A and B are shown apart, each in its own frame.
Chain A
């Protein structure tokens, strides 16, 4: 098993015929992802990568029965695309595009939530269930099937973490990049319980970063609800203090968002916290006892 997506998941691509959309949709197809079509306004009726193109998401969903959309539209159109997907009954939108305005994401996420649509990203590498379904831009070949779930804010650290887990002789159930923008879709606290409930996932790798307090919230949830071993790394122990102006940001988050603060909170919650990402693989080997 896995979480959120598997070999039967039907996927459409918004921004299908663009350069990025084309390149990555092709890679996903090669990986085995069931991409059943795509959406590009005014190109409806055409065929692209051997799949039908539709003018609207509603049409694509009606015709193909897709439940997941992978979004590659340019930044200024992301909000619109997400809301269109929600309206059309998509269940999960995976937003790859980087640089979407934060205000647009506030609106779009509120609208998605109202329609019961989950979102991932924006500005994320996507989601992959090893050897079944890749929806995103990660190099598929490093994700071997196994029993470790992975959640990461950073894209490249997702690859680094998964690669180490696999090099230690373990593998991945599902790996998810949640993105590091101010407004993101599914986060640690929604995904951790999914891994907890997935019988094939035996351990979890959680990779965080300085800034915000999602990792602190996750520590609380792990303490209360997660029984499976968790290995965590927080990037940015040596990062320079961010340039700040004004105090409102720090007051509202109630924390400085430092790596130290997050590492301590996770450790207190029983998580195995590593100081360098180079130690992730070894730590997984330790908690899984081999």
Chain B
């Protein structure tokens, strides 16, 4: 789960990670009020969306007067921001963060992320903050300092010194500040089961202080149960409505551009099914994993969600039963045809646990539009053919 910059900064503040003062607002008037409260003399008006690259996309702007704050708030609020991390359609800006303008001397980069190879968190830092850090990593990898921290020992002094010296910080007072900054950040990473924290830029101000000007945070979904305060920060409006609806029924759904709706058990087989459709000259309309506890109700819901997409010309149900029992899926399909008007051909391939029972159930039900696929290849070929005929 990802959170907004303003929320990440709330978490930073709780742990004593220094940030500029700022206020989240949802209207232009509130933006001006917030600016008055902050006092100025410079403000930054920042679009709050779950994506990076807002600055380049025109979602982060500097204001020198209250009138400018009003103008910029009016311009950015309600705009659709397209950045390299959003889709081509972009994201609607519904919230703004009004922040004190910082006196920037140097822009650094600092992040904490899981290193899957080392199987422990990794702190990354660079003197090349502010710009596109992936370019830095590619062109001048020596400018990225990496410090793995074994959670069994936690953040030690030597970790901090590696960072400070690596960043070329020679002033002792500044060394102390950056080490304390990183130590607090690591602590909040561990204590909140964060998946990723990225601060770009982390700035050094004219007075030699370090401030987090940006804050991106993502969390391990599996651990949200023990962090109700973090879980409460979820912003559903940042997520796809169909995906959220599907998740309520234990379905994992992602819409795509093609014509063949897919309903599959297991993420791997679901992707494999899409790949097979593509390989046979068709186009998948969605990714849909019905999960391990699929039953008649969830299958019916799956059909409903798939059929909402007007582009769908055929549906391929591909189940390899392990924990999922094929007879239940078969009943789900029959149920679904009663509840929803399934007006496209449905190609069904059921294999694995209780597959013979399922075949019998489907045969007895005698549903029009239903085509049986013998195996993955056969099912996919029939689905592609059916979509082409439609």
Taking Cβ atoms with an 8 Å cutoff, the residues of A that contact B are: 75-76, 98-104, 106-107, 109-110, 125, 137-139, 142, 152-157, 159-160, 163-164, 167, 180, 182-183, 207, 209-210, 212-213, 233, 235-240, 243-253, 259, 275-279
Contacts and interface: CB of A to CB of B under 8 A. Distances in A.
A213 B284 CA distance: 26
A278 B320 contact: no
A103 B220 contact: yes
Contacts of B264: 156
Nearest to A157: B268
14 contacts: A100-B222, A101-B226, A110-B150, A155-B266, A157-B268, A157-B272, A160-B320, A209-B268, A212-B116, A245-B2, A247-B198, A248-B111, A253-B116, A275-B279
A155 to B, nearest CB: 5
Contact of A239 (B122, B144, B146, B271): B271
B351 A163 contact: yes
Given A76-B226, A239-B274, A251-B144, A103 B268 contact: no
B113 A182 contact: no
A238 B274 contact: yes
B268 A246 contact: no
B225 interface: yes
B268 A154 contact: yes
B113 A248 contact: yes
Contact of B218 (A101, A212, A246): A246
A152 to B, nearest CB: 7
B271 A155 contact: no
Interface stretch (B56-64, B98-106, B189-197, B203-211): B189-197
Given A102-B222, A107-B152, A245-B50, A183 B119 contact: yes
A275 B116 contact: no
Contacts of A100: 222
A115 B184 CA distance: 31
Interface stretch (B33-41, B65-73, B173-181, B373-381): B373-381
A101 B272 contact: no
B80 interface: no
B334 interface: no
A103 B195 CA distance: 9
Which 3 A-B residue pairs are closest in the complex by CB-CB distance? A154-B268, A156-B266, A278-B377
Nearest to B353: A139
Nearest to B280: A276
Contacts of A180: 267-268
Interface in B26-64: 50-52
B278 A250 contact: no
Interface in B110-134: 111-117, 119-120, 122, 124, 132-134
B161 to A, nearest CB: 22
B261 to A, nearest CB: 14
Given A102-B114, A209-B268, 11 more contacts: A76-B226, A142-B352, A155-B322, A157-B266, A160-B320, A235-B271, A245-B50, A246-B196, A247-B132, A251-B137, A278-B276
A137 B266 CA distance: 13
B85 interface: yes
A119 to B, nearest CB: 11
B288 to A, nearest CB: 13
Classify chain B's interface size.
35 or more
Given A100-B222, A252-B113, A278-B376, A235 B152 contact: no
Contacts of B278: 237-238
A236 B116 CA distance: 20
B133 to A, nearest CB: 5
Interface in B192-249: 193, 195-198, 200, 216, 218, 220, 222-223, 225-226
Contacts of B115: 252
Given A107-B151, A246-B52, A160 B134 contact: no
A182 to B, nearest CB: 6
A51 to B, nearest CB: 22
Contact of A248 (B150, B198, B222, B226): B198
A160 B269 contact: yes
Contacts of A259: 275
A36 B327 CA distance: 32
Contacts of B52: 245-247
Nearest to B240: A243
B13 interface: no
Nearest to A102: B220
Nearest to B137: A251
B303 interface: no
Nearest to A111: B152
A142 to B, nearest CB: 7
A252 B196 CA distance: 11
Contacts of A75: 222
Interface string B71-95: 0000000000000010000000000
Contact of A207 (B198, B268, B377): B268
Contact of A249 (B119, B196, B320, B375): B196
A212 B115 CA distance: 10
A265 to B, nearest CB: 16
A252 to B, nearest CB: 5
B279 A276 contact: yes
Nearest to B278: A238
Given A240-B254, A245-B52, A277 B198 contact: no
